[in-house]
Chains A and B, each alone.
Chain A
């Protein structure tokens, strides 16, 4: 069988969603960023909002997200994505506005902007990739780096006496009156991808209600920064990240989920 015989509509099992571009992803093979991009763009396609959505790329591995998403986008200074999104949303209150941020961006340099955008209840969606490390700059400690976890600036592991504790910013913002929907998911198995997709879709649909901010954290791998194979990194994530960053909805329809 040659290629021509294989590439036929009836053989199609999977294809690029419309709003993803043809551009080759710049992410390391095995990295979760690509999957999350797809889920966000599938959501845009399913809701039919391409002409009404504006995205904000942040500074981190996903800085070039605008190359891969076929929608109007801007690129924010490091940590300021939710302030940039606030400016856009206040000017276009009926458009769908989202940020796409890493943990360094959202929970270290941008903590102030994150907390205040959440607290004001800006009607935006935050997609937050928590990989416990600074991927782009070469694997330094992030605010989310686990105790004992090695990074290029914690080569002997993170010690609480020296480097302080990892931060659960998602639980923190769930406490704020301005957040309407807060959820933590992952994309390392098909089942988890489906759950993450549902959360992301809810987070976008919520913008129509104008009841506050929706944040979806994706606990993700950084196989390069963690210096593991993709498979090892997913296993390590399950064993080490999930106990500290448990998956599931944290706040739904403005109410904290009782566990």
Chain B
């Protein structure tokens, strides 16, 4: 059993980064995720593992430092919250275009604009549909506990390097700020050798020069590159879909929720069962790739789905696409920092779905 600790979600991200053998973190303060960099700074990662930590002058600078560091083949990450993630989007698009591995954490707060510093899930579209310009996808992991904040840092780096693609951890102010028990994984040493055949290490005489770029002025070349990216996303859809099902085997209805909203729904389905309502919870863990096939498999088994999100209805579009009109799918959610209670969710479920 690994070391047990009581930690905030944001601290777990930071500790996991050091333990995952990250080579560099670049960030800029923003509530509700500032503890990530503060925890790192207190740990002096340059002494613990040799990891680079740098507070950049902006989120734009931070993501471009990530781009530079990632092009050396090293494990690189950044974290921020919604307005900061918007600023990073050009850089994230470049990372995807140049096929660089990197980990980006979004501890979401309510928007639009400066919005609120309170938790929200209103960046679902931005995270799962690319977010920046161009036809690209991020692999998106949605932790629902402090434990998963830690575990997904390690997993995120593995997936980022496996697919040479940026990975996003889409968390929110609740998971970032709450404290829970975490079992920390054993530290992995930082890489001592860079073997990636694309990484910038300096052109030695025994190999050709390497270029990291997202530019291809030849339209046919650019189209080919786009098809290659799409092939990768297909591969993710085939191999990386992750979800959790609770009380689903006998369910007549489903709630679908991720992250903090899934935690609330866990309680809501318990309250429902006490009333004799057979409802299960499907929690997508990867938001891209989305558990489309799994949701479709419910179409001839259940009567309806409630998408419960801390926003005005974003994931519901993916659920509707998944069930392809074969089931009623409705949305419930509070937003902008107002968090729904399990009782509220159940009442909404009875009103909207059971009618």
Contacts and interface: CB of A to CB of B under 8 A. Distances in A.
Interface residues of A, number: 34
Nearest to A44: B203
B72 A88 contact: yes
A51 B62 CA distance: 27
Nearest to B93: A77
A55 B350 CA distance: 61
B211 A90 contact: no
Given A63-B215, A83-B60, A113-B61, A90 B54 contact: yes
B124 interface: no
B209 A90 contact: no
Contacts of A77: 64, 67, 90-91, 94
Interface of A: 50-54, 56-57, 63-64, 66, 69-77, 80, 83-92, 95, 112-113, 116
B325 interface: no
Interface residues of B, number: 39
Contacts, number: 129
A84 B210 contact: no
Nearest to A57: B213
B201 interface: yes
Contact of A85 (B66, B68, B212): B68
Nearest to B211: A66
Given A74-B212, A83-B60, A116-B61, 9 more contacts: A71-B203, A72-B210, A88-B200, A90-B24, A90-B52, A92-B72, A112-B57, A113-B64, A116-B56
A72 B23 contact: no
B200 A84 contact: no
Contact of A51 (B54, B203, B212, B213): B203
- The winner among A56, A57, A80, A87 for most chain B CB atoms within 10 A is A87
Contacts of B66: 87
Contact of A91 (B52, B58, B203, B211): B52
Nearest first, the 6 closest Cβ-Cβ pairs linking A and B are A87-B68, A83-B64, A87-B65, A87-B69, A84-B68, A80-B64
Nearest to A94: B202
Given A86-B68, A91-B72, A73 B211 contact: yes
B72 A86 contact: no
B56 A74 contact: no
Interface string B117-148: 00000000000000000000000000000000
A91 B202 contact: no
Contact of B202 (A74, A75, A95, A112): A95
